[in-house]
């Protein structure tokens, strides 16, 4: 059981990393792009960069908050 937990923890750390909110933001943006691209004809290339512009500074701010 402990080895299974360690295996799961390794993959979580490998894929998700230090901030799960970044991974969630990317997943939501990709899903939204995927479905919108099939439902509309509007350009959607800007959606992922928009998530990066918002998510990265927020994640850094959250990381430095406890040290203040």
Partner 1 sequence: MSGSALFLAVFLACIVEAVEALTIILAAGTARDWRSAITGLLAGLAVLAVVVAVLGPAISVIPLGALRLFVGGLLLIFGLQWLRKAILRASGHKALHDEAAIYQRELAAAHAANGTSRSVVKDWYAFTLSFKGVVLEGLEVVFITLTFGSNQHNIPLAAVAAIAAVLLVTGFGFAIRAPLSRVPENSMKFVVGIMLTAFGLFWGGEGAGAHWPGSDAALLVLIPVIAVFALALVAVFRGSAPQNQAAAVNLSTRSEV
Which listed residue (1, 12, 18, 54) binds partner 1 by CB under 8 A? 18
Q: What is the DSSP string of the chain?
A: -HHHHHHHHHHHHHHT-S-HHHHHHHHHHHHHHHHHHHH--S--TTHHHHHHHHHHHHHHHHHHGGG-
The 30-59 site mask, x for binding partner 1 (CB under 8 A), equals xx-xx--xx----xxx-xxx--xx-xxx-x
Which listed residue (2, 3, 6, 68) binds partner 1 by CB under 8 A? 68
Q: What are phi and psi of 2, to 5 degrees?
A: -65, -35
Binding site for partner 1 (CB under 8 A): 14-19, 22-23, 26-27, 30-31, 33-34, 37-38, 43-45, 47-49, 52-53, 55-57, 59-61, 63-64, 67-68
């Amino acid at each position: 059981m402990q080895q299974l937990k360690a295996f799961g923890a390794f993959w979580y750390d490998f894929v998700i990393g230090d901030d799960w909110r970044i991974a969630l933001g990317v997943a939501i943006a990709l899903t939204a792009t995927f479905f919108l691209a099939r439902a509309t004809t509007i350009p959607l290339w800007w959606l992922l960069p928009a998530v990066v512009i918002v998510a990265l500074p927020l994640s850094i701010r959250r990381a430095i908050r406890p040290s203040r």
